[in-house]
Structure 1
Amino acid sequence: MNLFQLFLMLHIAGGTAGLITGTINLVRKKGDKNHKLVGKIFTYGMLIAGVSSLVLSVLHPSYFLFIVGVFTIYLVGTGNRYIYLKMLGVNQQPLLLDWAITIGMLITAVLFIVTGVIHLVNQNNFGIVLLIFGVLALRFTKTDIENYRGKARVKNYWLLVHLQRLTGAYIAAITAFLVVNAKYAPVELPPVLVWLLPTAILLPLIITWSKRYKIEVKTADR
């Protein structure tokens, strides 16, 4: 077994664990003991999948592996960190690690957008995927910077970001699964559709949950 095969096995194992546990937590009751236990398995599985994806993207250069790796690590990392960042702007400051993850994602977002534009200029429709993911990443990092500076727009920002980011990581797992297995579909689907379908389906769910649980910051609290 060579190095690529080893990390590929780790990627498949982590991704499979994330896909199964993510589905469980998506449909069941939130916040109880079992939710937290399943969530830990999801986190470790997705981090293994994300890190191994980045390694694979170096061993075998691939947009697919790089995008999945970057977004998975960022979404799972920040989604879990926010559980411990409930007092930003009061008596708590983000760690250097928090800033490093966010700045890393910000740089990557700019690269996605620039590369996406170049692809579209060269009449490569995959540029649409890069542009959409780049814009989403910019919105994520903008939220991070506002929260880290104590300028959160909602009182329970930590809960909303936790929900949004881990659901986003689940979307990444589904996207990876579909991209890899699209060739087995009974009809051939456009690659851009395969990449964006999970986001298009689950993004409205994230928006609905966010509106349901959001607690606005009162003007006097700002």
Structure 2
Amino acid sequence: MEALFKTLLILHIAAGTLALVAGPLSMINKKGGKQHSRTGKLFFYAMMLVSGTAISMAVLPAHHSLFLLIIGVFSAYLVSSGYRVLYLKGLARGQKAPLLDWVISLTMAAFAAFFIYLGLSGILSGSGSSSSTVSVVFGSIALALAAKDVRKYTKAPADKNFWLYDHITRMIAGNIAAFTAFLVVNNTLLPPLVAWLGPTVIGTAIISFFITKYKQKARRKATAETVIVKITASN
């Protein structure tokens, strides 16, 4: 069992290191370009290996870890849903979400409810630590994202660019998860709660920056198209 754990740990560290490099590179590369696609796929596969090894280590009898379970499940959901949304652009035009996407979202919803329950149980019993608060925070975020998935699966999104905003949000959130894990494991200076939630605060600001940037770009494009149509009609 220890040999298996050590093997999983080596794979986990190697994949995590790759994800920590590929993720930021993908963010700074031009969106839609070949380099963005390549580094994005590298980040995706690295994070899926990180998640798989984390979950496997978390459930080993001698190594139970709520930390690894939360990070593993949440990371797998973020990057898989962020990647899959690229194939769901047609939802705004009546496309139906495949079973795979329903499974991903509903599985996350179930785990999110479990994380919230564990966190609240610890807090209400008075025995909770910072991990209980973290469990509630991450569980709540995951549940909100899964609920958003279900809404777009059952009702066509009004904004045709919804997939872009979801892709940006989920993939950057995957980066947040990777940096959170790295910081928590290696932290020797910061309070545990800061190490856990600090990357989320910073990452949320980055997500807001990119979403605002692309929404403004979409509005300018729509305005330009409207002007062209009016000029054409007047002639």
| TM-score normalised over the length of structure 1 | 0.90
Corresponding position: 1:40 with 2:41 = yes
Measured in 1, the distance between the counterparts of 2:92 and 2:171 equals 23
- Structure 1, residues 12-32: CA drift from partner, whole Å, max 9, x if none? 111111110011122332221
Measured in 2, the distance between the counterparts of 1:212 and 1:175 equals 25
Matches within 5 A, 1:131-142: 131-142=136-147
Matches within 5 A, 1:1-222: 2-59=3-60, 60-121=63-124, 122-124=126-128, 125-183=130-188, 188-214=189-215
Match in the other structure for 1:219: none
Q: 1:156 and 1:209, CA in 2 relative to 1: closer, same or farther beyond 3 A?
A: same
Measured in 1, the distance between the counterparts of 2:102 and 2:176 equals 24
Matched AA of 1:131: V
Matched-pair contact (CA < 8 Å) for 1:178–1:194: yes
Matched-pair contact (CA < 8 Å) for 2:93–2:156: no
Unaligned segments of structure 2, at least 5 residues: 220-235
Measured in 1, the distance between the counterparts of 2:148 and 2:212 equals 16
Matched AA of 1:7: L
SS at match of 1:148: helix
Equivalenced residue count is 213
Matched-pair contact (CA < 8 Å) for 2:29–2:35: no
Unaligned segments of structure 1, at least 5 residues: 217-222
- Structure 1, residues 140-162: CA drift from partner, whole Å, max 9, x if none? 01110111113324321111111
Matched-pair contact (CA < 8 Å) for 1:72–1:169: yes
Measured in 1, the distance between the counterparts of 2:81 and 2:131 equals 27
Q: Which has the higher contact order (CA 8 A, sep 6+)?
A: 1
User: After alignment, is 204-213 or 47-56 more displaced?
Assistant: 204-213
Matched-pair contact (CA < 8 Å) for 1:50–1:68: yes
SS at match of 1:88: helix
Sequence identity, in percent? 40
Matched AA of 1:74: Y
Root-mean-square deviation (CA, aligned residues, Å) is 1.7
Match in the other structure for 2:229: none
Matched-pair contact (CA < 8 Å) for 1:116–1:126: yes
Measured in 2, the distance between the counterparts of 1:56 and 1:26 equals 29
Measured in 2, the distance between the counterparts of 1:153 and 1:172 equals 29
| TM-score normalised over the length of structure 2 | 0.86
Higher alpha-carbon Rg: 2
